[in-house]
Amino acid sequence: MFPLVLGRDRTAAKVKILAVEQEVSGIDPAQFRSYLKAEAARVWELTQADVIREVYFRRDRHDAVLVLECDDLAAAEAVLQTLPLVEHGLIRFEVIPLMPYSGFERLFEQTT
Q: Which residue, 85, 87, 21, 14, is CA-closest to 51?
A: 14
- pLDDT for position 10: 53
pLDDT the model gives residue 1: 42
Q: Which CATH architecture has domain 20-93?
A: 2-Layer Sandwich (3.30)
Starting at the edge strand found earlier in the chain, the sheet holding 64-70 runs 52-57, 64-70, 15-23, 91-97
- Residues of the chain below pLDDT 50: 1-4, 6-7
| pLDDT of amino acid 5 | 53
- R_g of the chain computed on alpha carbons: 17
Distance, CA of 21 to CA of 65 (rounded, Å): 6
**pLDDT score for 9:** 52
Percent of the chain whose pLDDT exceeds 90: 79
Query: Is-above-0.85 flag for pTM?
Result: no
